[in-house]
Structure 1
Amino acid sequence: MSSQLTFSELASLMKSCAGLTVDPKDLEKRPDCAFAEYNLDSLGLLGIVSELEKRYGKPIPAGPETCKTPGEFVEAINASLMAGA
């Protein structure tokens, strides 16, 4: 596990936390595509944030669960992780 969230890790989390199979390359190629197009809702994002808090052993401030795109989400999570580094 790296110190920053990648699109590949996000795809894996979407599968394990929300049951959605997404090609990580698609997330990376289309970071501005709405989560709604992947059928990921705010509850799914909350589950992903919760899992990330467990993995990194620290709370993630509120905000990432309201992101609308994979690019926004990855950026918000990584900013949060860097702030706590």
Structure 2
Amino acid sequence: MNPEISYEELATLIKTRAGVQVSVDQLADPGCMFLDLGVDSLGVLGVLADLENRYGVSIDSSDLLGRPVAEFLKTVNSTVKAGA
């Protein structure tokens, strides 16, 4: 399994866990925030929980919730790679 989480995978997780349809282009926008997409903190926590379970890592959510999506994904990928 590739530990790199793609924008496509993140879009699928957001739809599944938060019930919000987003595009890869929206997620890849450097300034895009989850709230801009209609994803609240509970939706983000649902995505994180899914990723933690899937990859067997613990991801600190305290500093991720207020970050742009691109930074969020970069941090999550670093955590997953370190734990893989």
TM-score normalised by the chain length of structure 2: 0.84
Range 75-84 or range 43-52, more displaced: 75-84
The answer on 1:23 being equivalent to 2:52 is: no
Distance 1:7 1:64, change over 3 A: farther
Range 51-60 or range 72-81, more displaced: 51-60
Other-structure match for 2:8: 8
Cα displacement (A) at 1:39: 0.9
Instruction: Identify unmatched segments of 5+ residues in structure 1.
Output: none
Mapped partners of 2:63, 2:5: distance in 1 = 12
Verify the 8 A CA contact 1:8 1:25 in the aligned structure 2: no
Q: Secondary structure at the match of 2:73?
A: helix
Aligned-pair identity (%): 37
Cα displacement (A) at 1:65: 4.2
Name the count of aligned residue pairs.
Answer: 84
The answer on 1:33 being equivalent to 2:61 is: no
Verify the 8 A CA contact 1:5 1:78 in the aligned structure 2: yes
Write out per-residue CA displacement over residues 27-82 of structure 1, whole angstroms, 9 at most, x where no aligned residue.
22x13212111011111111000000111123223446424321011011011112
Other-structure match for 1:68: 67
Distance 1:64 1:50, change over 3 A: farther
